[in-house]
Amino acid sequence: MNLPGGTDFSNVLTSSLPAALLRIVEQAAGYSLRHGQRLYLVGGWVRDALLGLPGSDLDLVLEGDGPALALQLAQDIGVRPDLYPRFKTAALHFEGFTIDIATARQETYPSPGSLPVVEQGSLQNDLKRRDFSINSMAAEVHQGFIGPLIDPLGGYSDLKQGFIRILHPASFQDDATRILRAVRYEQRFDFKLEPATLDCLDRDRRYLNTISADRLFYEFECILSERIPEKVLARASDLSVLDTISPGLVFENRHRQWFASARRINRPEMPGLASYLALMCLEQPTEAVSSFIKRLNLPPSISKVVLQAYSIRQLFPKLASDLCPSDVFCLLKAYQPESIRICLASSPPVAVRKTLLRYLNKWQFVKPLLNGDDLIQTGVRPGPQTGMFLRRLRDARLNGYSHSRRDELELVHQWLASNH
């Protein structure tokens, strides 16, 4: 790790930027020079460059009109900017990266958990309003180079010691989503919450109740996008953060195993957000699941998967019994395959696992060889009787009583004869 302020730091930071992003940064530097304003690279990219990690989102702060800079860059590179006038920020999406451009700001919080009131300020104001010291480092952007490191709040020292530290004692009271981010960064980097920060977290976790459902949902999205999200959730559970958000919500060793199993089942893709959330809820009391869905204001598509997986879990005793394939089909046909795969990841009994796999891999796709027109030609009445016969033919194929069109025709004739 390079010493702050040294020339090596400029090289580290500059070399961390892909060529396309470096060109944009240099264009932005030209804009700020022409307007007599100062431009800075701040936050996560600076932190990750010092840690030797690849950056993701690029944060630029201008002591001037940040959205105006964003509009100019958007025009130059041919993208559409996302503008957020209330917060004096804008975002550009370019070649898989997000470039956030902001006016240097200072913030005040009218009440705990509320969105801040933003006013234009200096870089010093902007760094002081951030969540943690390791995200409060910056470097001035010039044409041709970046640096030296600007670190008025001790972020570099905390980075070397592996500490997550808030910038003032009321930080979690102002914005309790920082509690979830603190745990997320701690686990991502294998750091530790700095002792005073840990004390503030324990004292102030009740302020999570001031946070809106949508903001909480976003923080869970971020956590579940981590490479190993179970580390974050287990730590949050140990700190009673999950229980504060939704009473009774825990994350234990079995959940860790289920998350890892879900990744194996979904390879090469990662499990979706709904899968992870459903695994968190599988063994909760029914009222706790409902409370959790409401507390995060889960979208209907995600709520459906969570509730379906929960319902399938309640069917395990039936699925472990000696059911014929058509009975299994009848039990599971209303559920999405994703919901069934979630239950597969939850270490079901061997008999249940075999049944779920057979349904997913074979039984759900079984259909009769005859269609409605074929049945009508044999004398079946159009309407409900046709549908009933098709279901009976499907069940016959599932249970091994028919294997060909001839077998199915014979069954249809038998059923018609029995009805006369």
Q: What domains can you pick out in the chain, each with its CATH number?
A: 1-161 (3.30.460.10), 212-364 (1.10.3090.10), 372-418 (no CATH)
Average pLDDT in the 288-303 region?
A: 94
Q: What percent of the chain has pLDDT over 70?
A: 97
Q: What is the pTM of this model?
A: 0.87
Chain-wide mean pLDDT for the chain?
91
Average pLDDT in the 47-65 region?
A: 89
- 97-103 and 58-62: which strand pairing? parallel
Q: Mind listing the pLDDT tens digit for each residue in 380-395?
A: 888 888 899 899 999 9
Average pLDDT in the 11-34 region?
A: 86
Residue 250: phi, psi to the nearest 5? -130, 165
- CA dist., res. 192 & res. 363, Å (int): 49
Average pLDDT in the 215-225 region?
A: 96
Task: Determine what percent of the chain falls in helix, strand and coil, rounding each to the nearest 5.
Answer: 60, 10, 30
Question: Within its chain, how far is the Cα of 357 from the centroid?
Answer: 27
Q: Which DSSP letter does residue 371 get?
A: -
Q: Could you tell me which of 241, 164, 176 has the C-alpha nearest to residue 215?
A: 176
Query: Helix or strand or coil: residue 322?
Result: coil
- CA dist., res. 165 & res. 136, Å (int): 11
- CA dist., res. 182 & res. 172, Å (int): 10
